[in-house]
Structure 1
Amino acid sequence: MNRPLTNPRSTLHALIPFGVGTADVESLLSYFCRLAVSHSVSTLILSRTIAQHFGHSVAANFDWHERQIAGIRESALTWSAALSALTSVQNLDNLTFLPWREVISQNGLSIFKRGQFCSDCFTEDVACGRQPYFRLAWESTEVTCCPIHRKPLSCDCPSCGKNNVRHAAAVVVPGWCTHCGGFLGETTKSEKSQEVEPASLWKARQIGELLASQDNLAITSNRSQFIGAITQIVSTAHGGKAAPFSRRIGIAKSTVHHWLKEGGTPSLEISLKIAAHYGVSLKNLLSGELSQWQPPALDEQLAFELSSSQTLRNAPRTIDWTSIEENLVAFLSLPTPISVLEAARRLDMEARQLYLRANKTTRQLGERWKDHLKRKQEAKVVAAWPYLEYACLEIWGEGKTVTRREILKRVPEEVLSSVPNLLNVLKEVQEHLQQSESLSKSELVA
């Protein structure tokens, strides 16, 4: 009989991310810190809990805040999927730069490691009755100011003056100094006197617009469309000549050739330069949407002719999540449960994607698989129990202590190899035998 489809309880609190769909979207790092505070544990303990849940080990010197969990590398995908699986909150990859991983090179997104913040944003959070949180835009080194409050971002505590106070501690409460506990929403005199350059404001607004669009992307950005947009810019603005294009944005011609011919991808910094010099928004450039773009007036430059031959690329895969959901529901009805990894293999996907986009059904599969494994283990213990009882009685009869070595002499290896946690099971067997012996003696006395 199949179990009814229910929504499994989440292992961790299902916190709702802040600012989703806006330029002030919360970073995954901030979400992780708030989750630790919600459970009243340190960030290290929570990171170990997450790792252990998925069968990974964490080194003693593990620095969670240096793993760039809000970036575009594998660590960001792993952590966002793990947190989605444990909290039941879908699409936590939208708290990272992952939606743009196909159009930003793996080493092309620099993360500000010391942690920067806008004190006015924290003050505004408190004034609105909202818990202060770290914005995803603050993670990028390309963002140096707050476009809303038109002030530079800071990484120094206004109370104690310490640097790197945003998350370098075991317990992190977003909005408060990890060194002195002071509120980071206080504005210092130096911040008030600093002016923000127009170029810095433009960059911050472009990245803010990019992040605001992540939650509503109709199609995941892909490299072929992005490179197609660059090719269109080179063709329209420079007649297909790469030399003036490369000089204008300050890179080598070989770099442009690498993008167009060999599979390279520009960094976020270079993409911002292209957007600025050719009058296109960063979001439209990375998405390959230049249908409304008109090239600015440019001075003519002498350059070699860019070859029009292009290497044919496979079309990006379009994932039908409705069909995926139907397949997952069908897997739930299989007579023999399957794991999430097996379901992902059958669907030619990653398990992390299933947790992020089909969270509820995927967790149902996971819970059903865990129940299946538990029942199998219990069945193995039941099958081995008579052998273990007989062996224990025989060992006691010889006046010896029950040890693993003595058990191995008396019980077939194929029986013992299937018993999980053998030492704990042996302890339970001995306690059961002792209780049965005590009960028999009391009945004889009666």
Structure 2
Amino acid sequence: MNSVLNNPRSELHALQPLGEGTSDVESLPSYFCRLAVSHSVSTLALSRSIAQRIEHDVSHQFDWHQRRLASTCESAETWSAALSELTAVPNLDKLTFLSWQNVISRSGLSIVTRGQFCPSCFAEDLAKGRTPYFRLVWESAEVFVCSRHACSLETHCPHCGKDNIRHTAAYVVPGWCTHCGEFLGKEGEMPATASIDPAARWAARQIGELVHAQQTLASTPTRDNLINAISQIIEEMDNGQSALFARRIGVAKSTVHNWLKGDGTPTLKASLKIAAHSGASLTQLLSGDLSTWVCPQIEPQLILNLPQPKPRTRTVKRERNWAEIENQLQAFLVLPTPITVREAGRRLNIDPRLLYLRANMLTRQLGERWKEYLRRRQDEHVVNAWPHLEQACIDIWAEGKSVTLREVIARVPAPILAPLSNLLLNLKDVQSHLMRPDFESEAAK
């Protein structure tokens, strides 16, 4: 089923690439696999033979599928040129994304590493008498669905469930599982279009059109034309404000600045975002041809006569007589029972912090008086509880027990212990006092 061109001078079979001139053009990895099948050799043997032919030193761990043959990197350029020379089939670089290497950053074109495919496309190939093959559009990591059949791309064999079934075997026949050998095509009802993300299908369609357009490109797209196109879009959509444009497409404004003023090049994902927001096709954008592009018009927002909120009345500034306030603080200082600064602020209807700012000395005196009152009251509680604690310790020792908090609480009334802020410390002081020699002599008398 593989068509071979009549070219006796080629070192390898001159296989005709499949799907030429369409968005379903074959990828270079697929062409390489079919070439290995045509020569009845393993993909590893063929890859080593080609590597030696182009004078590349390869290690024993060399894997051809790790070369990213369909990308825009140097490996894609080297291998496509080598295969064209060995097969005498021209323009095998059209089976890669090399045509767009100047307008897509080298690290911005993500290539799938484990392989993906559309079972419906394989089934359709076989039903129409064509050789099943891997499409170039499937190599892009930005493509998740088949735009033709509106179904998700698969990565696992529907029969054995294994993944990475494109590359994990010595002999790779596109369309058949390298693990179990079953056909990867699947016929039947197509899934409902509503179950497929419209954005994913749009992206797949845009990349498909890009692949189709590269078959007939008169010249290689340049970065200058791309940047001019982006500048035109920014000018017409956001009045030349790159920061607004960056926010619109969801990238950092420094990234857009690097495109326009530096030497940066958008990734394929960023270019898809620009195309989605501007209404231009991905092909128009990357080729820099916006001659037929029209800036999308935003419908004006309706003006609604909504009720206006009532203006807020400002609170009249309160004037305070600080001389009178200081007199009241002086009066608080001579009260029989001291009060806290917070209580003083409550009585004067003033924030305590403001008292510290405007009447700092009197407020600090008020606070110190309250602290002294607390210390004095605590001392009174300790004096009141001291004999009870002494007697409790003596009784506990008389019973041959250790003095613990539980034993003390069981012997001393709760109203006596409740006011004590540090019962353990007070209890320790009592025990130290009882164990002094002078206390024992006094007790003996």
TM-score (norm 1): 0.64
Q: Which residue of 2 aligns with 1:252?
A: 252
Q: Which residue of 2 aligns with 1:97?
A: 97
Q: Which residue of 2 aligns with 1:274?
A: 274
- Alpha-carbon distance between aligned partners in 1 of 2:274 and 2:194, rounded to the nearest angstrom: 28
Is 2:108 aligned against 1:111?
no
- Alpha-carbon distance between aligned partners in 1 of 2:239 and 2:163, rounded to the nearest angstrom: 50
Shift of 1:146: 0.6
Shift of 1:299: 9.1
Shift of 1:193: 10
Deviations 1:411-436 (A, max 9, x none): xxxxxxxxxxxxxxxxxxxxxxxxxx
Shift of 1:67: 1.1
Q: Which residue of 1 aligns with 2:73?
A: 73
Question: Aligned AA for 1:149?
Answer: H
Note if contact 1:65-1:168 (Cα within 8 Å) is conserved in structure 2.
Answer: no
User: Given the superposition, is the C-alpha separation of residues 275 and 184 from structure 1 closer, same or farther in structure 2, using an over 3 Å criterion?
Assistant: same
SS in 1 for 2:106: coil
SS in 1 for 2:235: helix
Q: Which residue of 2 aligns with 1:38?
A: 38
Note if contact 2:103-2:226 (Cα within 8 Å) is conserved in structure 1.
Answer: yes
- Alpha-carbon distance between aligned partners in 1 of 2:255 and 2:193, rounded to the nearest angstrom: 40
- Alpha-carbon distance between aligned partners in 1 of 2:47 and 2:194, rounded to the nearest angstrom: 38
Deviations 1:164-188 (A, max 9, x none): 1122211100000000000000259
Note if contact 2:280-2:293 (Cα within 8 Å) is conserved in structure 1.
Answer: yes
Q: Which residue of 1 aligns with 2:88?
A: 88
- Alpha-carbon distance between aligned partners in 2 of 1:146 and 1:99, rounded to the nearest angstrom: 22
Is 2:166 aligned against 1:166?
yes
Question: Aligned AA for 2:154?
Answer: S
Deviations 1:117-159 (A, max 9, x none): 0001001111111110000000001111111111000011011
Deviations 1:5-46 (A, max 9, x none): xx8710000000001111100000000000000000001100
- Alpha-carbon distance between aligned partners in 1 of 2:20 and 2:265, rounded to the nearest angstrom: 27
Is 2:59 aligned against 1:55?
no
Alignment of 1:332-371 (within 5 A): none
User: Given the superposition, is the C-alpha separation of residues 146 and 264 from structure 1 closer, same or farther in structure 2, using an over 3 Å criterion?
Assistant: same
Q: Which residue of 2 aligns with 1:199?
A: 199
Note if contact 1:152-1:194 (Cα within 8 Å) is conserved in structure 2.
Answer: no
Is 2:39 aligned against 1:18?
no
- Alpha-carbon distance between aligned partners in 2 of 1:293 and 1:27, rounded to the nearest angstrom: 30
Aligned length: 294
Q: Which residue of 2 aligns with 1:239?
A: 239
Q: Which residue of 1 aligns with 2:284?
A: 284
RMSD: 1.9
TM-score (norm 2): 0.64
- Alpha-carbon distance between aligned partners in 2 of 1:9 and 1:194, rounded to the nearest angstrom: 52
Note if contact 2:246-2:253 (Cα within 8 Å) is conserved in structure 1.
Answer: yes
Where does structure 1 differ by over 3 angstroms across 4 or more consecutive aligned residues?
187-194
Shift of 1:63: 1.3
Larger CA deviation: 110-119 vs 190-199: 190-199
Q: Which residue of 1 aligns with 2:27?
A: 27
Question: Aligned AA for 2:140?
Answer: S
Aligned sequence identity (%) = 61
- Alpha-carbon distance between aligned partners in 2 of 1:89 and 1:57, rounded to the nearest angstrom: 25
Note if contact 1:158-1:188 (Cα within 8 Å) is conserved in structure 2.
Answer: no
User: Given the superposition, is the C-alpha separation of residues 187 and 60 from structure 1 closer, same or farther in structure 2, using an over 3 Å criterion?
Assistant: farther
Structure 2, unmatched stretches of 5+, are: 1-6, 301-445
Alignment of 1:401-420 (within 5 A): none
Shift of 1:191: 6.8
Structure 1, unmatched stretches of 5+, are: 1-6, 301-446
SS in 2 for 1:213: helix
